[in-house]
Amino acid sequence: MKSLVFAKYLICKGDNATEKPSPLSSVALLHYHDSLEILFDTILKEKEKKFKRNANSTFLNLFNRVNEILGEDEKSNQKGSLSDLNSLRKGLKHNGTFVTKEDIEKSKYTANNTFKELCEKVYNYSFDEISLSYLIKNKKVVNNLNDAIKSFQNNKTNTINKLAKSFKSLLEGYQEVNELNSTHFFYSLEQYKNDANDELIDEIDRTFSDIINHMYLINDTINTLSLGLDYKKYGIV
């Protein structure tokens, strides 16, 4: 199951890459190709007891063998589109040939459709049933995500709460692993209070409190960015 989930993860990485400007969007081809090759390989390892990769285990040959397993009535008709995807990927990786926006959109369509089709025909799984939570090691995060998925149809408020808790646990786990202390700041205004009157001390305290609050926000922002997330989408408000 983990290989299948990882293959889906690469599909999602490819989809995200298509939204980037050229030539950065071209990396989507690499993700799509790797995802489908992992999928083909996973299917063959499970369905063919003696399967071993060799010099003839090319991208298209693996796909042909998957089609043999599916049989004439169930086989996929994506060979032509996959051949185009494979050629575009070779041109990019080996010759540095960047592709057009239209080629990227076609590759996105091919990769997503092939992945969904084979998962349904081989494993009887829909795309949505393959949860990326299998790749997360933090059990608290996984449990909250699974609860969010279960309550999505009937209780969207609970879903949002569980997603927020998942994200909070993710940040806390990141801080713990990297030994980050969000409450430690390397400055103090105490030295300025010694020579100040009571009114000025109160003003200093209020100002310092505002500074600390803003430092917390900055710290949360840095933590979010350090995870490689889009802060506009996932930032803590």
Q: Which residues contact 166 (CB under 8 A, 6 or more apart)?
A: 140, 141, 144, 145, 148
Token digits of residue 235: 């930032």
Cβ–Cβ < 8 Å for 82, 59: yes
Amino acid at 121: K
Domain ranges of the chain: 2-135, 139-234
Does residue 39 register a pLDDT over 50? Answer: yes
Prediction pTM value: 0.69
Packing angle between helix 27-47 and helix 2-17, nearest 10 degrees? Answer: 160
In a 13 Å sphere around the CA of 136, the CA atoms on its Cβ side amount to 18
Identify the band that residue 125 occupies on the pLDDT scale cut at 50, 70 and 90.
confident
pLDDT at 109: 95
pLDDT at 14: 94
CATH architecture of 2-135: Up-down Bundle (1.20)
pLDDT at 177: 63
